[in-house]
A and B are shown apart, each in its own frame.
Chain A
């Protein structure tokens, strides 16, 4: 191969190299969500109720404790698991029992779930149980127009009364 031809082919090979780099740097496109879909994100972190209620110590129990440890009430640390159900248009979309975090199981239960749904108007019903009895003590129902490519976030904040749709 003579010199000009070699330089030409060298140029071609360099071009092929950067063409491969340039192409795969941003192609082929990745479809994360179908064009007619929206995203529902269920996410919260919530500390459930204690499994057992606080109780008063008996005088005998208090007497056995060191003087500086004689707190009149004792509260078991362990929390109940949080159970969540999310329905869309009357059908169960997602259900989870989230255990409390921490070695002593006294931390918050955390839930995160991304759910791709068809865009449009939907009836959502969310229920949450945060007690040992398993009763759904929080519930919310909303009809939401979820546009294509938008996110419906379903959060939970007990201080704000329960589920928050935004």
Chain B
């Protein structure tokens, strides 16, 4: 039954979305911004309410007369404000209920989304309490009806037991202080509403809290127009407790329960509202349950990060939660902004508009990150909006200015960017070099960001590698390359005072060199330890450089570690695996930041060992640390920062 309702709801929204896309365009479709529109309407209600509050007077006579003054004598502003206040509140309920319905029919309320759902239920209560309370203030016939109906309804509760209505039983029972109380509640409840709304949206990564301006302006102008065409007025003169309410123009957005109250009994209404609330609160855990999965891992390019995706979570949500600069707009499969490429694995593509992802594009591996959920571990690629610090990702052309062999299998490539425009980047980031067929290979900056005249790359020869063999066999100085960058979230965090341990494996030294040189340049005084692990001595292709740093800087320590030193290396230094050397020197890692760059095998081995020795996940920076064991080997190789084949 529930599935049928959800299916029908999805069908409806899908078609309504398509229709609205034709009219509003896929990026300004109000149906994609129901939550944000609700937010906006609340601000409109708050703003107009503040104006009304300036003129509102708390007293039996004054409450009605001050609202009448606003409505009649100051109709051109106060009256419009009152009308917009009322209509925006009504529109808020409409938008909120549509927002709720949309998430319900798309089944976006189970699993990890339970928190947003529960806070959403709280918001419904607070919205209705605020709105109904507001209807009591003008002290007209409608206020009289609402006050008495509320008292009669609440009097069913044992806590009141018939005493509440005694406060409104006849003229003289009500005094001026009632409006002080009502005004206080009418400020307190919306404040609570805002607080819960803030919590409600905080848990949603990248939540829209403001609709696109054309929608915000369009909605507001429409409400003002409505206020002018059909201004809100008080009903039937001031409240008169000796007269009964016969016919009333009810606000059906806020007060339908009050009509039901007199068709049913207060007890039945309490059972309906209370039972409905409990049902809503329990909904995330009620059947039918979707198949349970433990979630999946996704290798994301160009960040080269591996992120966890929770059960039922869309790829976009997971990426935003991990702070990735994924472009998005509608989040409902309408605009196509979040289009990415599926490189490996299978997904449930979800429900989306064909215009956002035509069949031929889907056949080439495209998917919409806002709609797709993984069915296996995945490898995907997207085009980032920007990088840390909003450094834009751009495509550059560079000339190979210099080539120098640092070791038998490591080439130092010095690039001069065309127009001498070395991109701004963060120490530790990387670039993607384009191959003639459009494929990309990632290499870290080995130069620090302040070195503006050239880019240095350290490229290790991978037998059979398309690009690296070209570098070693065909490339010559004067050749040109195209690359995009800067990319990656692996960069030096300068907002901490903790000592730093750099763990480099082979050409993982390149980004470490960038970070260390940047640290020296900026005068960073934090203690830095570089553990550079390699198999043989000749693999430490630039060992003299960190030795020189250690001589020149008191806060820098260099510890080379060889795993398989040969006799001819005459090695007298540390041996074994690099992470074991670190653990021997630092039994407690809880007060250190660790930056690791090297082979997947190295970080996969080191990570659990570091965690066991107190390393905090917040102080550990290596995309490879988040590797899932399920990933195929080829993909895993691609996250090797500092050089891929």
CB distance from A39 to the nearest CB of B (A): 4
Is B170 in contact with A166, judged by CB distance below 8 angstroms?
yes
Is A26 in contact with B251, judged by CB distance below 8 angstroms?
yes
Bound Cα distance from A18 to B244, whole angstroms: 32
- Chain B, residues 167-181, CB within 8 Å of chain A (1/0): the string is 001100000000000
Say whether, besides A21-B226, A24-B90, A101-B161, A32 and B145 are in contact (CB < 8 Å). Answer: yes
Bound Cα distance from A14 to B219, whole angstroms: 7
Bound Cα distance from A43 to B152, whole angstroms: 12
CB distance from A68 to the nearest CB of B (A): 35
- Chain B, residues 535-579, CB within 8 Å of chain A (1/0): the string is 000000000000000000000000000000000000000000000
With a 10 A CB-CB cut-off, give which of A15, A26, A149, A153 has the most chain B CB atoms.
Answer: A26
- Chain B residues contacting A153 (CB-CB under 8 Å) are 169-170, 242
CB distance from B67 to the nearest CB of A (A): 16
Considering only CB atoms and an 8 Å cut-off, how many residues of chain A contact the other chain? 43
Bound Cα distance from A26 to B253, whole angstroms: 9
Main secondary structure of the interface of A (DSSP, over half): mixed
A-B contact count (CB 8 A): 124
Is B87 in contact with A45, judged by CB distance below 8 angstroms?
no
Is A25 in contact with B87, judged by CB distance below 8 angstroms?
yes
- Chain B residues contacting A45 (CB-CB under 8 Å) are 162-163, 166
Question: Is B24 in contact with chain A by the CB < 8 A criterion?
Answer: yes
Is B94 in contact with A1, judged by CB distance below 8 angstroms?
no
Is A30 in contact with B247, judged by CB distance below 8 angstroms?
yes
The stretch among A86-94, A106-114, A136-144 that forms the contact with chain B is: A106-114
Among B15-63, those with CB < 8 Å from A are: 20, 22-25
- Chain B, residues 45-86, CB within 8 Å of chain A (1/0): the string is 000000000000000000000000000000000000000001
Question: Is B273 in contact with chain A by the CB < 8 A criterion?
Answer: no
Bound Cα distance from A2 to B56, whole angstroms: 48
Bound Cα distance from A20 to B221, whole angstroms: 15
Say whether, besides A10-B218, A17-B222, A149 and B86 are in contact (CB < 8 Å). Answer: no
Which of B170, B222, B225, B243 interacts with A149 by CB under 8 Å? B243
Bound Cα distance from A27 to B223, whole angstroms: 17
Is A30 in contact with B86, judged by CB distance below 8 angstroms?
no
Question: Is A33 in contact with chain B by the CB < 8 A criterion?
Answer: yes
- Chain B residues contacting A38 (CB-CB under 8 Å) are 244
Is A21 in contact with B249, judged by CB distance below 8 angstroms?
no
Question: Is A41 in contact with chain B by the CB < 8 A criterion?
Answer: yes
Q: Which residue of B lies closest to A99 (CB)?
A: B161
Bound Cα distance from A164 to B155, whole angstroms: 22
- Chain A residues contacting B24 (CB-CB under 8 Å) are 6, 10, 13
Bound Cα distance from A25 to B229, whole angstroms: 14
- What 8 new A-B contacts, CB under 8 Å, besides A24-B90, A32-B247? A6-B24, A9-B23, A21-B94, A25-B90, A27-B252, A30-B250, A33-B247, A151-B241
User: What are 26 inter-chain pairs, A to B, with CB distance below 8 A?
Assistant: A6-B23, A6-B25, A13-B24, A18-B226, A19-B226, A21-B87, A21-B91, A25-B87, A25-B253, A26-B232, A29-B249, A32-B246, A32-B247, A33-B246, A33-B247, A37-B244, A45-B166, A110-B162, A110-B166, A111-B162, A112-B152, A112-B155, A151-B241, A151-B243, A153-B170, A155-B170
By a beta-carbon cutoff of 8 Å, the part of chain A in contact with chain B is: 1, 6, 9-10, 13-15, 17-22, 24-35, 37-39, 41, 43, 45, 101, 110-112, 114, 148-151, 153, 155, 166
